Amino acid sequence: MTASQKVNPSPSNTDLHIENAEQEIELSALWEGIRRRLPWILLTTALVTPAVYFWSKSQPDVYESSSSLVTAGTSGIPGAGESLVRASTLPEGTLQEALQGPVVMQDIIRRVQKTTELPQPVRQEIGGDLQKELQERELRTIELSSRLDMSANGVYTVTAKGPTARAATFLADAAAESLLNWDRGRALKGLQRAERSLRAQLAEIDRQLGAGDLDEVDRQTLIAARANTQRNLAQASIQTEGVAGSLELVAPAVEPLRPVAPRPTRNAVLAGLLTLLLGTGLAALRTVTDRTVRGEDDLLQLGFPVLGNIPRLRQRDIVMSGIVRAARAAGLYEAVGFLRVNLLSQLSERRGQRIMITSTAPGEGKSSLTATLADGLASSGQRVLVIDADLRRGTQQEVWEKYDRDQHWVQLTGEGGVRTFQDALRQPEHVQVMEAEANVHVLPAGPGLHDSLALLNRTDLSALLSRWSAAYDLVLIDSPPLLAIADGLVLGKHVDGVLLITEEGRTSVQMVRQAIRRAQGSGLPMLGFILNKVSASSRDSYSYGYGYSPRKQSAQ
């Protein structure tokens, strides 16, 4: 049994692992997702907190004052039943509707505009705010709260806000007085209706008495009715003078000593905490919903080992030096060393073994990683042939020419001949390869070829690759992505092992799952994964000693 067969699980077990991975979000993965985004969360919090502080500090002062009203009754007042009339108790919510209605609000506005206690700019500001709130039917300057029992008896509190302490006090008292007048007007309107009814009755009695065609009995009856109506009318007039509402003022407003707003310190602290909580929540939500490969654990759950974790290189270093030289300078030596050891442990000691390096989709770094791995293998004394089998988008020649443009070509088979993989498939007897560096030879793909699959199917790849690999310790085949085109499935049948490149934070777990299914369906010998472009924060959690550099000799 080969090494590749030992690590291949059955398809059913792999599917089970994948389904369990999709349904499970570990706390460690959740914390890792939050930790990766923590610098941005803290930076945003550090920006929002002082911004809210200075914004709050720039806002005008707001003062607040309150006055209290209590529901009143007639019990305990001697003779009140004859001379004092009170309005009925207000149902809960009635006074609030009255306050935000036009009758009460317009009365408050008139009081504000006529007063001489407040400066003209303050009166204009408060009057404009109240008029706008009246039109919007949403009170903010004046608020009403209540503490009532089951019989709707209790205390109402009128709270007013103003730009000065005096303005808030005046506005609270004006609102309370307007509510008292409105409440008294309810009882007064009832008595006024009774007076109008009694006067109408008296006029009708006088009309009948003036007719002159009444007998003595009817006449005496009307006279008695007229006297009774006059008494009732007189009583109503007396009650009008003593009419009262169901509310009484018990605590007028007191001028406040300090403003209630703004509170810059409190607002800044609350804004900072809210930003921190919101940022953490969004990071957690993003982690839970993120189904990309976030680390080694996501790949291990799919049933194959992770043979290497390759750090992300800075784009500037790649542009300036090329991928191979940049990898050497950036500390990928240790990571590639682990990859080399893990890869060789999966293989037998037979020379000329062929390893296909592929990915799920373009842009995950398979070509760059193939060149970097070849450089690492060559540095350990092994002879490596790199075949760029991506006939549509081959890049190996560009990768190595960026590293060193002074290249020369050596013979792979025959004498002279072709110098690209696509031409070698047509004329395999005479092929030359580029000597990229010591112990590394490269067979470029050639210009983009649309019908690459047909060319691969017409060639005896097994015999061809066996012949080419005879003079090398390892042959690395840079294959097209498995989910892009079918070329990789054809090439993979003629190799000893397949490495699948995944990019941290970009490659979807679902895409990896589909690639594994395609590879297993075609019988490809999967060796494992390589996690590429690992971020600095993720590297801290791995055991590789990226920072374990040689100690410098001290001066004697």
Residue 546 within any structural domain of the chain: no
Residue 391 within any structural domain of the chain: yes
Contact 268, 50 (CB under 8 A): yes
CATH number at residue 103: 3.30.70
Contact 306, 296 (CB under 8 A): yes
Measured CA to CA, the distance from residue 538 to residue 548 in angstroms comes to 17
pLDDT along the chain (556 residues), means of 10: 42 49 58 84 95 93 94 52 63 89 94 93 93 91 92 92 95 94 81 78 82 78 84 72 78 93 93 95 83 82 89 68 67 81 89 93 89 90 94 86 74 91 92 91 90 88 92 94 91 94 89 92 93 72 46 42
Residue 317 within any structural domain of the chain: yes
Same domain, yes or no: 521 and 390:
yes
Residue 227 within any structural domain of the chain: no
pLDDT given for residue 359 in this prediction: 93
**The domain containing residue 127 runs over which residues?**
63-192+244-251
Contact 158, 125 (CB under 8 A): no
Residue 375 within any structural domain of the chain: yes
Same domain, yes or no: 309 and 186:
no
Joined together, the tokens standing for residue 522 give 């075609």
pLDDT given for residue 539 in this prediction: 52
Three-state secondary structure readout of 450-463? CCHHHHHHCCCHHH
pLDDT given for residue 405 in this prediction: 64
Strand partners, 508: 292
Boundary-marking domain end, from 251, 274, 302: 251
Same domain, yes or no: 414 and 525:
yes
pLDDT given for residue 89 in this prediction: 80
Residue 336 within any structural domain of the chain: yes
Same domain, yes or no: 182 and 302:
no
Instruction: Cite the DSSP H helix spans in 86-164.
Output: 94-99, 102-114, 120-136
Residue 30 within any structural domain of the chain: no
Residues 6+ apart with CB under 8 A from 307: 339, 342, 343, 346, 499, 527, 528, 529, 530
Same domain, yes or no: 185 and 300:
no
Residue 359 within any structural domain of the chain: yes
CATH number at residue 488: 3.40.50.300
Overall domain count for the chain = 2
pLDDT given for residue 80 in this prediction: 43
Per-residue pLDDT tens for 260-286?
999 999 999 999 999 999 999 998 888
Phi, psi of 161 (to 5 degrees): -115, 145
Per-residue pLDDT tens for 486-523?
999 999 999 999 999 999 888 888 899 999 999 999 99
